[in-house]
Structure 1
Amino acid sequence: MKKYFIAGILVWAPMAVTIWVITWGLGLLDGVFGSVMSAIIAVFPEQFSSDLQHFRNLPGVGILIVVLVIIFTGLLAIHFAGQWWMRIWDRFVNRIPIVRSIYSSVQQVSTTLLSGNGNAFSKALLIRYPHADSWAIAFQTGLPAKEISTKLGADYVNVFLPTTPNPTSGFFMIVPREQTIALDMSVEEALKHIVSMGSVPPHSSIGKTALESPKPL
């Protein structure tokens, strides 16, 4: 019975996690629509509020509208007129204390992560963590700022060290390049290896012996 139970878990666990992530994402989109509709309903007179509430309760409408708004915003953002409005919006938001700090930080991070020519997760590395006798998989995210490089006085790299089994959290670290080891595995393979706590070997390492070690940079 134990063997059959474990086999069943191995079948259902990936599907359950996938459904949970999709459900969470769809719920987030629907929640955004619900918040906007609640504000609109509060403004309109009572005779219109019931109709708006009925529209709000239609299944799937919130998700569809939010997705369409995102696509429409992206369509405008890549054209000249849309870029002009985005510059106006950025100037407006950057004049609001506290809000401008959060907005600019999130904007820079999202641009770096989603841009095709960004430096985010450019390669998988091995770094010494949490002590000199152990190694962990990290991802190079770029180079230190000029001021940091000048004060450190050596060749350093920015790395993100994800946690297991949730790679969305982790640590940002600046480490000497000579103390890192570049891996042949892709970023996607390294993420799978981390999430699986090392139980899923990368495809690029299949066929290699355990005695082989990656070459330092």
Structure 2
Amino acid sequence: MVWLPLAITLWVLLWLVGLLDAVFASFLNGLSAVTPESLGPRLERLHAIPGLGVVLVFSAMLVTGALVSNVAGRWWVKQWDRLFTNIPIVKSIYNSVKKVSDTLFSSNGNAFRTALLVQYPRQGSWTVAFQTGSPSGEVASHLGADFVSVYVPTTPNPTSGFFLMLPKADVIELDMSVDEALTYVISMGSVAPGAQASKIPVSQ
């Protein structure tokens, strides 16, 4: 039990390093097909450097962040979006992923910033959920304004779950942080946070 968390952490990190190295190796293979044969030995030496893919990926992320933080960089991002939103088939996937990522990772959004206590899958049976927003559009016109959208994660894998729209009066907002709530779900209730639940109005 002492070594298990460390072992799993190292395993995940090694898997991530191997994945990024594999992506970088694929890039080098494609590059070697279009470069002169004299550069072949140099590309082969790059293959043999472990962890180089991780370094290059994080370097690319830092450079990208620096570029898009100014006006010129944001203009290029808009052109990039315009290009992909005009390609058939690709635009449906790209737009869907972009909308989800913008909603989840936006600094001013409400998605996954509040832990809730809801009754699921039946009345009297309670579980931890996360607020993802409020119903909008046609759904809101049928349900009204007193509903909240929630995501109910499964245990022990919280990446799968169920999307529900519940009346605000039927949910309890928790004082615990999202990290504490996730730990509570993943541990199947064996690691309980210290905060106590209190029934207060759910944020919009």
- Name which of 110, 119, 126 aligns with 1:128: 119
| Residue 147 (1) aligns with residue 138 (2) | yes
Matched with 2:199 is 215
**Paired residues, number:** 201
| Residue 170 (1) aligns with residue 154 (2) | no
**d(CA) in 1 for partners of 2:91, 2:26:** 22
**d(CA) in 1 for partners of 2:119, 2:37:** 63
**d(CA) in 1 for partners of 2:18, 2:166:** 39
Q: CA deviation at 1:184?
A: 1.6
**d(CA) in 2 for partners of 1:144, 1:19:** 41
Matched with 2:72 is 81
Matched with 1:53 is 44
Matched with 1:37 is 28
For structure 1, which segment, 151-160 or 61-70, has the greater mean C-alpha deviation from structure 2 after superposition? 151-160
Q: Secondary structure at the match of 2:87?
A: coil
RMSD, aligned α-carbons: 1.7
Q: Which of 1 and 2 has higher RCO (CA within 8 Å, sep 6+)?
A: 2
**d(CA) in 2 for partners of 1:215, 1:167:** 24
Matched with 1:94 is 85
Amino acid paired to 1:145: S
The answer as to whether partners of 1:129 and 1:135 remain within 8 angstroms in 2 is yes
The answer as to whether partners of 1:159 and 1:174 remain within 8 angstroms in 2 is yes
**d(CA) in 2 for partners of 1:141, 1:147:** 17
Q: 1:107-118 to 2 correspondence within 5 Å?
A: 107-118=98-109
Matched with 1:195 is 186
Q: Secondary structure at the match of 2:88?
A: coil
The answer as to whether partners of 1:154 and 1:176 remain within 8 angstroms in 2 is no
The answer as to whether partners of 1:42 and 1:49 remain within 8 angstroms in 2 is no
Q: CA deviation at 1:171?
A: 1.9
The answer as to whether partners of 1:167 and 1:195 remain within 8 angstroms in 2 is yes
Q: CA deviation at 1:55?
A: 1.2
Matched with 1:182 is 173
Amino acid paired to 1:215: K
Q: Secondary structure at the match of 1:11?
A: coil
Matched with 2:151 is 160
| Residue 19 (1) aligns with residue 10 (2) | yes
- Name which of 42, 64, 76 aligns with 2:55: 64
Matched with 2:96 is 105
Q: CA deviation at 1:154?
A: 4.7
Q: CA deviation at 1:114?
A: 2.5
Q: Tell me the TM-score normalised to structure 2 length.
A: 0.90
Unmatched tracts of structure 2, length 5 or more: none
Q: Identity across aligned pairs (percent)? A: 50
